[in-house]
Amino acid sequence: MSSSTDELIIEEKNHVGLITLNRPKALNALTLSMIHSMHPKLDQWQQDKNHVKLVLVKGAGGKAYCSGGDIRAITQERGGSVQKEFFAEEYKLDHLIGTLKIPYVALLNGIVMGGGVGISVHGKYRICTPNTVFAMPETGIGLIPDVGGAFFLPRLNGSLGMYLGLTGQRIKGRDCLHAGIATHSIDNEAIAEFETEILNNPEEVDTILTEFTVKSNFDKDKAFALEENLKTINQIFSASSLEEIFSRLEGDGSEFCGKTLKTLKRASPRSLKVAFRQISEGKKLSTLAECLNMEHRLVTRCCENDDFYEGVRALLIDRDNKPQWNPSSIEQVSDELVDSYFKPLPSEQELNL
């Protein structure tokens, strides 16, 4: 049994629901129509869990699992109905994945960013490969690390999540396992065999994943790429304010801190301040739903100001990499401005998961 569109292939094979994100030329970027197809199918499968015992999601083409939301489409109509619907429906899908009653397996082969993180990291199983590249680069385009970033980022070890959420630092291959982004690993040449095993024995998913992880050899003897800087990350990114993070980076003097500071200074000051509070607040919230409800308010406000559109212009459209942020420094972003992002929306606009 199968159904498909140009963008998404949905199949049922031997009690496995198989979803293939099928926009390889666009690095499988998530569209509203893909969300509209995935959500009801996942809902149907979990209602009939005796029929479908496991969901496996992968990306076509080998370069990306999912590189994020279709940002160009989202920004074409500023404040329009499609833009608002996209984020609301995306977060509902992320929440469903995070609460799914049947095992959800995301094969993270290639780029996993933004919206691609939302449809993977909240699932029970996330498998990294040598090609995996994870990042939450939203502050660099005037947005915030959403799709549940407020939930999973502060729950990574130490202050790693705050560091990843603010800087957009890329985590590659087995480092995703070290960081807690992935739960298992698999070699490239074993992917086809793994899929066959899962399709033939969906109820043995734990055993199969453990076996393939044990057998995977890529980067097995390499330490976590951030290992030597974890103490510094924990010391600096545990600060009680963004300004204190900048101050600690400036006072450190190491090459790592210098590069990190340079990265942060390229990002939207407004986004950095909002994201810092988002991740800090997320640590206090107990459920994914609460975090997504909060992020829906934040993203709605991001879509109402110029930084998001300026970031997309500078990095994705004109590609001059010279965004003109407003305000232009973190010192100019007032607490009142940050507070305004967190205020409730009109009742009819709230997500209310």
Nearest Cα neighbor of 109 from 153, 161, 66, 165 is: 66
State the residue for tokens 């990574």: 156
**Helix (H, G, I), strand (E, B), or coil: what is residue 238?**
coil
Which candidate in 17, 59, 68, 69 is catalytic? 69
pLDDT in tens, 330-342: 999 999 999 999 9
| Token pair of 9 as six digits | 């292939």
Nearest-10 crossing angle of helices 255-266, 242-252:
140
115 is catalytic: yes
Q: What is the pLDDT of residue 5?
A: 65
103 upstream amide cis, omega within 30 of 0:
no
Band of pLDDT at residue 71, cut at 50, 70 and 90:
confident
146 is catalytic: yes
Pairing relation of β-strands 111-113 and 64-66? parallel
Distance of alpha carbon 195 from alpha carbon 225, whole angstroms: 29
Which candidate in 17, 115, 148, 173 is catalytic? 115
Q: What is the pLDDT of residue 4?
A: 55
61 is catalytic: no
pLDDT in tens, 114-160: 999 999 999 999 999 999 999 999 999 999 999 999 999 999 999 99
Which long-range contacts link 240-244 to residues 24+ away (Cβ below 8 Å)?
Answer: 241/276, 242/166, 242/272, 242/273, 242/276, 242/330, 243/330, 243/331
pLDDT in tens, 200-255: 999 999 999 999 999 999 999 899 999 999 999 999 999 999 999 999 999 998 99
Pairing relation of β-strands 104-108 and 125-128? parallel
Which candidate in 7, 138, 195, 197 is catalytic? 138
**Which residues does 77 contact at the CB level (< 8 Å), separation at least 6?**
83
Average pLDDT, the chain: 95
Residue 309 has pLDDT above 80, yes or no: yes
**What domains are defined for the chain?**
2-135+170-215 (3.90.226.10), 227-349 (no CATH)
Nearest Cα neighbor of 226 from 212, 214, 236, 215 is: 236
pLDDT in tens, 6-41: 899 999 999 999 999 999 999 999 999 999 999 999
Instruction: Please report, for residues 43, 226, 269, the alpha-carbon distance to residue 139 in angstroms, rounded to integers and kept in the order given.
Output: 32, 21, 8
Our CA dihedral for 303, 309, 310, 312, rounded to 10 degrees, sits at 120
Pairing relation of β-strands 2-4 and 8-13? antiparallel
Alpha-helical segments (H) within the chain: 32-47, 71-76, 81-98, 115-118, 149-152, 160-167, 175-179, 191-200, 205-215, 230-236, 242-252, 255-266, 269-284, 288-302, 306-312, 335-342
Nearest Cα neighbor of 146 from 26, 271, 307 is: 271
Q: What is the mean pLDDT of residues 176-182?
A: 97
Sign, Cα dihedral of 116, 75, 146, 274: positive
Q: What is the pLDDT of residue 70?
A: 86
Q: What percent of the chain has pLDDT over 70?
A: 98
Q: What is the mean pLDDT of residues 84-109?
A: 97
Band of pLDDT at residue 1, cut at 50, 70 and 90:
very low
Residue 321 has pLDDT above 90, yes or no: yes
Distance of alpha carbon 353 from alpha carbon 350, whole angstroms: 9
Q: What is the pLDDT of residue 344?
A: 97
Which candidate in 90, 94, 146, 310 is catalytic? 146
Q: What is the mean pLDDT of residues 77-84?
A: 83
Distance of alpha carbon 97 from alpha carbon 120, whole angstroms: 8
